[in-house]
Amino acid sequence: MKRIIFHIDVNSAFLSWEAVRRVRRGGEDLRLIPSCIGGDPSKRTSIVLAKSIPAKKFNIKTGEPVSMALRKCPELVIAEPDFSLYDKCSKAFIKICKDYTPVVEQFSIDECFLDMSGMERIYPDPIKTAYEIKDKIKGELGFTVNVGVGSNKLCAKMASDFEKPDKVHTLFENEIPDKMWRLPVGELISVGRNTAAKLEKSYIRTIGDLARLSLKNIQSIAGNKFGEQLYFYSRGIDESPVVDVPPKAKGYSVETSFEDNIITRKQAHRALLSIADSVAFRIRDDGARAYCVAVNIRTNDFKNKSHQRRLDNATDLTSEIYDVSRALFDELWDGNTPLRLMGVSLTDVTRDGAEQISLFSGSDKNKDTERVIDKTVDNLRNRFGTAIISRGAGMENASRIDRKHKAQFENNRRDKGKDKK
């Protein structure tokens, strides 16, 4: 059966979605003026998340500080991000895509793959169908998309990037020499800035240059595994299926950049508790536990350091993840160098549901208490949002219930029970 794959990509998603909302409320269309999605320009952590086409004329780039973008274009209109809006718009365009095929793989919040293979009787002309989907999204939801059509996921995704916005492009096997090989090698999927620079040093400037090399030559430059991928990708070969059920996460991580540098250990522990709590909430929400905890930091001079530890038993408890993270952090940080970023990662994930029982009964009782706390916090967050409750970050050892106060609480509770009797 001949494969037909669509790749649908929302044009400037965050900005387009905000623009549609403002237009429907009678406001100005952000897509027609120099504008961007970003945070408060007075905060150094605020960056440009998306930009309009007019903003590109001022050389404004995604990922740069908002303050820098304003220096390039003082009239730049800045809209704050609204992730609840983005989630709503994402679901809306995915729903339209699922009207055309049951096999839809959401690749990110603003793009997806459709497997149209075997749908010839319903949609005999795939190009016409691609235009139909594009126009339906624009007509019903108000924002534009690009649709790439190809014989595999790689070709479909490459095609959707050819020219924007609001376009349909094809990249079939017979079109690869004319449409893909002439492109700079850095535009090949999976080729990042560093890899492109390395390839260009070897006089490999276009995708066609790469496609003409032997597997052995490419591997000598990029390594065996990645080199093999580049060998096939440069020839437009990709056998990966469109998967409508997303794979389970192999790891979980949360990072935080700080508006002001972290300069004391107390500040660091407080921030670390919040980060550990966030990543623990995510792994519990997926019904998983992790055997490995890692901490990474970035100093004010942009130097990165990391440390990890493997656990005897997999965990999803906030208190355990925080305790290990704090110990790793204390080994990692010199206590003097200001910090601008911290993160916690959980890897070596299991979902077997089994847990090894401790030889020490007291330890298990403490874990039971922590599970009750975690479950209560998770239920509140799932019902009212993640901001509804936070851990007691001001406590010196905030991940544990102080045993002295816990004992006093239990004694007071029993005394009150006696008084009632």
CATH assignment at residue 217: 1.10.150.20
| DSSP symbols for 243-275 | -SSPPPPS-EEEEEEEEEEE-SHHHHHHHHHHH
From the CA atom positions of the chain, what is the Rg in Å? 26
Do 301 and 392 belong to one domain? yes
| pLDDT on residue 389 | 56
Q: Are 246 and 219 in contact (CB under 8 A)?
A: no
Task: Determine the structural domain holding residue 189 and report its residue range.
Answer: 180-234
Q: Are residues 208 and 286 in the same domain?
A: no
The answer to whether residue 371 sits within a structural domain is yes
Give the residue among 179, 160, 226 at the shortest CA–CA distance from 199.
226
Q: Is residue 169 part of a domain?
A: no
Q: Does residue 347 sit in the same domain as residue 268? A: yes
Q: Are residues 276 and 362 in the same domain?
A: yes
Single pTM value for the model = 0.69
The residues annotated as belonging to the active site are 111
Q: Quick one: 259 and 398 in the same domain?
A: yes
- Final residue in a domain of this structure, among 60, 83, 106: 83
Q: Which of 367, 390, 395 is nearest to 377 (CA)?
A: 390
- 202 and 267 share a domain? no
At 111 the three-state DSSP class reads strand
pLDDT at position 380 is 65
Q: Is residue 73 part of a domain?
A: yes
Tell me which of 30, 61, 83 is where a domain ends: 83
Query: What is the residue-level pLDDT of the chain in tens, covering all 421 positions?
Result: 689 999 999 999 999 999 999 999 999 999 999 999 988 777 766 789 899 999 999 999 888 888 899 999 999 999 988 888 999 999 999 999 999 999 999 988 999 999 999 888 899 999 999 999 999 999 999 999 999 999 999 999 999 999 989 999 999 999 999 999 999 999 999 898 888 999 999 999 999 999 999 999 999 998 899 999 999 999 999 999 998 877 677 889 888 877 678 889 988 898 898 899 888 988 888 889 999 999 999 988 888 899 999 998 899 888 899 999 999 999 999 988 999 889 999 999 888 764 544 444 345 556 777 777 777 776 766 665 555 455 654 333 433 333 344 444 445 545 545 544 4
In the prediction, which pLDDT does 390 show? Answer: 59
Q: Residue 344: give its domain's CATH number.
A: 3.30.1490.100
Residues 398, 258, single domain; the answer is yes
378 is a domain residue: yes
Question: Which pLDDT belongs to residue 39?
Answer: 80
Query: Is 230 a member of any domain?
Result: yes
Structure tokens given for 50:
């998306």
Give the CATH number for residue 79: 3.40.1170.60
**Number of folded domains that form the chain:** 3
> Hey, which bits of 339-389 come out as E strands?
339-350
Q: What is the pLDDT of residue 373?
A: 73
Same domain, 227 and 308: no
If asked whether residues 205 and 320 sit together in one domain, one would say no
Residues 223 and 286 in one domain: no
Decide if 243 is inside a domain: no
> Phi and psi dihedrals of 251, rounded to 5?
-165, 165
Query: According to the model, what pLDDT value does residue 394 have?
Result: 38
pLDDT tens by residue, 370-385? 777 777 776 766 665 5
Two tokens, residue 119: 């749908």
188: phi then psi, degrees, rounded to nearest 5: -70, 135
Rounded Cα distance between 312 and 179, Å, is 53
Q: Is 292 helix (H, G, I), strand (E, B) or coil?
A: strand
Residues 215 and 324 both lie in one domain: no
Show the CA angle centred on residue 99, arms to residues 244 and 139, nearest 5°.
125
- Is residue 106 in a domain? no
Same domain for 206 and 293, yes or no, is no
